[in-house]
Chain A
Amino acid sequence: MSATIAPPGPPAPSPDAMESLSGRRLPRWAPWAVLVVAAALALLLAAFTAVSGRAGTSLVGIGLFIALQSGWSFAVEGRRHAIDRFATTLIYSSFVIAMIPLVAILVSVVVNGIKAFTPYFLLHSMRNVDPRGTGGGEYHAIIGTIEVVGMAAIIGIPIGILVAIYLVEYGNRSRLARLISFFVDVMTGVPSIVAGLFVYTFLVLTLGFQQSGLAGALSLSILVIPIVVRSSEEMLKLVPTELRESSYALGVPKYRTIMRIVVPTALPGMITGAMLAISRVTGETAPLLLTMFLTQSINTNPLTGPQATLPTFIWDQILNGTDASTNRAWAAALTLILFVMILNIVARLLARLSRVK
């Protein structure tokens, strides 16, 4: 601290000396006071000068707040504390900045989505509906989403869990295990559209299949695998070694130890991770456009022909470009976000409930 050090002479320092040890500080209410002053000034400026608009006014307000607080702090507390307050303001405001789009997105999806979000919309397809006019619904897309995401989960989650088991239980940081671990990390960064492109070249161009729900599910499972591996790996690592050792000590083979002791112990966490992975890919659009295209009709068979999903439905409705279709897009976005959020919240609740045990 920039304070003067109490002289060593007097044995019992007076209260004044104690005070000087901590230096001069702004009162605790200082930031709030500055906030009020800055807001008032910004509003005044907005009323009487060229400053205008909500965004502009708040920017000016933030600038004023930073300047006033730093200045006051510099005068009273000195340079170091002024810098500290400056940095604190920036860090707090970065969090607020991140909150704004999140709130704006959620609010606009709910406000705009509720308009066309009716039981009729949920239970009818777009077959024989004018894509630019009103009417129609997303039933076919809901079916497609559930089927495709379900298949992606069935394909991707077991593979991901097996890889995680290999890495934690058998890998022993061998060269192969480290290579796999590295590429799992790299795989999380594969753009979703590249996964779709790969499944298209493999299934459609090379093996001669059609675009279908299964192809879409395969492309999603490429995106699911690395996320599941990472989360299951974390959970398996949390299983205490003593548990494994006591099982070995009883003569239980390793594979049985893993299946009966290790995996059940880690299971709640693994389910949470898998559900988060699924919720992450539910909103994927790009790979599905390539691998399963889209349709306006109900197609319950994921093995042949194109299927619609909620994300590709939204895409299609946005591109139609009329007010009616944009309303449908918002309503489908509301459905999708409800779907994803429910998966997310259930997964986190599961995690919390199992942690208490």
Chain B
Amino acid sequence: MSATPTLEHPAPAPAPEDPNRIRGNSVRPGDRIFRGVTRGAGILVLLIMGAIGAFLLWKAIPALRVNTVNFFTYQKWSPDNTPAKFGIAAMAFGTVVCAVIAMILAVPVGYGIALFTAHYAPRRIAAMLGYVIDLLAAVPSIIFGLWGLNYLMPRSYGLMQWLNDHLGFIPIFDNRLGVYSRSIMIASIVLAIMILPTVSAISREVFVQVPRAHVEAALALGATRWEMIRTAVIPYGRSGMISAAMLGLGRALGETIAVALLLSASFTISSHLTEPGGITISAAIALLFNESGAIGIGALIAAGLVLFVITLLVNMIARLIIERRRDFSGAN
């Protein structure tokens, strides 16, 4: 139990006298240092998460102090005026509406892709199709913005007009201006494409974990493939599907650049979603940051803090759902 000839150590460890060492539980200084370093890196992650909240709060307070209107209900944004007036109502509305529409569009399709790659596609090409979807995830946000602005938006006018003509009695499709560019609706469509890989990758992960026995039992009882999906795959994967949707929501809430390019940055709340308008928290930060004064930056930090808290909550709930499933599913 002294030197280890099979491993080429530059300096073999000295022979231990304490029999406890055999367990691999360390008492050696090198071990203690290494453990300390890795543990420190882990704690650093916690510190970063804590510091994000703490620093944003700290630097937001001075701006919030001089604000003369209600931060949560006021719609306009003029923090560098005297008196300073700014509120996140319009931004929060845009953020939530964009994210929700993106979810409504992307989640069913994402589940469909996940089911397709997990249970429909021939096994040999399923992995390749997974790569292709990953490729969609690798496309940078700014390119989605550029493409959305120059390619998709001009091609969407027909659809928007059709929605206005036939479904115009619903306020969100009603367009009073006849102008269809830079609307919340088009931003949401691009967002939906962007969160598609997130939703499909995570729900696919749970769909492929469905025990083979459940699947085969359903098929053996004469279920069609869809009945097998409905009775074996979906009940098993339900919590994973929910958290996939929520992680997609988290991504949609925080997405910045594509949305900033596609919205026309007007700080008003309007239910006419195909008309130009809308702003989200993240888009406002990106668009206004470098032209803001001290109070303006503080105000944007306050808005960023709100975004951080919302995405944190959404992500935590999603992760807790997954964790709970892991604990109780009895898989593995």
The residues of A with any CB-CB pair to B shorter than 8 Å are 1, 53, 55-56, 80-81, 83-84, 86-88, 90-95, 97-99, 101-102, 104-105, 108-109, 112, 159, 162-163, 165-167, 169-171, 176-177, 179-180, 182-195, 197-198, 201-202, 205-206, 222, 225-226, 229, 244, 247-248, 250-260, 279-280, 282-286, 289-290, 293, 311, 314-315, 318, 326, 329-330, 333, 336-337, 340-341, 344, 348
A-B contact pairs, 18 of them (CB 8 A): A84-B225, A90-B112, A182-B316, A186-B49, A191-B308, A201-B55, A202-B55, A225-B48, A251-B1, A251-B22, A254-B26, A254-B31, A293-B290, A311-B140, A315-B257, A318-B146, A329-B146, A336-B140
State how many angstroms separate the Cβ of B280 from the closest Cβ of chain A: 10
Q: Does B38 lie at the interface of the complex (its beta carbon under 8 Å from any beta carbon of A)?
A: yes
Q: Which 5 A-B pairs give the minimum distances between C-beta atoms?
A: A283-B140, A191-B254, A94-B112, A189-B315, A162-B41
Tell me if B45 and A163 are in contact (CB < 8 A): yes
- Smallest CB-CB separation from B115: which chain A residue? A91
In this complex, which of A189, A247, A254, A282 has the most chain B Cβ atoms within 10 angstroms of its Cβ? A189
Q: Is A194 touching B307 in the complex (CB atoms < 8 A)?
A: yes
What are the residues of chain A within 8 A of B136 when measuring CB–CB? Answer: 98, 101-102
CB distance from B137 to the nearest CB of A (A): 8
The distance in angstroms between the C-alpha atoms of A254 and B38, with both chains bound, is 13
Does B75 make an interface contact (CB < 8 A)? no
Residues of A within 8 A of B45 (CB): 163, 180, 183-184, 187, 225-226, 229
Separation of A88 and B227 alpha carbons in the complex (Å): 11
Interface size classification for chain B: 35 or more
- Measured in the bound complex, the distance between the Cα atoms of B140 and A344 in whole Å is 12
Q: What is the bound-complex CA distance between A83 and B225, given in angstroms?
A: 10
Task: Mark the stretch among B82-90, B173-181, B245-253 that contacts chain A.
Answer: B245-253
- Would you call B46 and A186 a contact (CB within 8 A)? no
For A185, give the chain B residue with the smallest CB separation.
B319
5 more CB-based (< 8 A) A-B contacts, given A94-B116, A251-B21: A56-B162, A94-B110, A190-B254, A258-B34, A293-B290
The answer to the question of B213 belonging to the interface, with a C-beta cut-off of 8 Å to chain A, is no
- The answer to whether B158 and A53 touch across the interface, beta carbons within 8 angstroms, is yes
Whether A283 and B129, one on each chain, are in contact in the complex, defined by CB atoms closer than 8 angstroms, is no
Is A187 a contact of B282 with CB atoms below 8 Å? no
Flag whether B108 is at the interface (Cβ < 8 A).
yes
Contact with A along B130-169 (1 / 0, CB 8 A): 0111111111111111110111100100110010000000
B143 pairs with A336, CB closer than 8 A? yes
For residue B238, CB closer than 8 A to chain A, the reply is no
Name the residue in B4, B13, B139, B150 with the highest tally of chain A Cβ atoms < 10 Å from its Cβ.
Answer: B139
Instruction: Choose one: B6, B131, B135, B143; the contact of A109 (CB below 8 Å).
Output: B143
Residues of B within 8 A of A326 (CB): 150
**Contact B254 A255, beta carbon cutoff 8 Å:** no
- Chain B residues, Cβ within 8 Å of A97: 109
The residue that A283 contacts in the complex, of B52, B141, B297, with Cβ under 8 A, is B141
Q: A81-B224, A91-B116, A104-B151 are in contact. Are A252 and B38 (CB under 8 A)?
A: no
Bound-state Cα–Cα, A1 to B155, Å: 46
Q: Measured between alpha carbons, how far is A95 from B25 in the docked complex, in Å? A: 51
Nearest B residue (CB) for A326: B150
- Mask of B2-24 contacts with A, CB within 8 angstroms, 1/0: 10101101000100100001111
- Interface contact B109-A98, CB-CB below 8 Å: yes
Q: How far is the CA of A254 from the CA of B28 in the complex (A)?
A: 9
The residues of B that contact A192 with a CB separation of less than 8 Å are 254, 256
**B134, B138, B261 — most chain A CB neighbours (10 Å):** B138
B226 interface residue per 8 A CB criterion: yes
Q: Is B285 an interface residue (CB 8 A)?
A: yes
- Cβ of A210 to closest chain B Cβ, rounded Å: 13
Tell whether, in the assembled complex, residue B38 and residue A166 are in contact, meaning their CB atoms are under 8 Å apart: yes
| Residue among B38, B52, B111, B282 facing the most chain A CB atoms (10 A cut-off) | B38
Q: A49 to nearest B CB, angstroms?
A: 14
In angstroms, Cα B159 to Cα A201, docked, is 43
Report Cα–Cα, A247/B7, bound state, in Å: 9
Out of B49, B59, B257, which one reaches A201, CB within 8 Å?
Answer: B59
Whether B7 and A252, one on each chain, are in contact in the complex, defined by CB atoms closer than 8 angstroms, is yes
Q: How distant is the Cα of A205 from the Cα of B311 in the complex, in angstroms?
A: 24
On whether the beta carbons of B13 and A84 are closer than 8 Å, the reply is no
With contacts A190-B311, A284-B140 taken as known, whether A102 is within 8 angstroms of B135 at the C-beta atoms is: yes
Find B138's partner among A254, A280, A293 (CB 8 Å cutoff).
A280
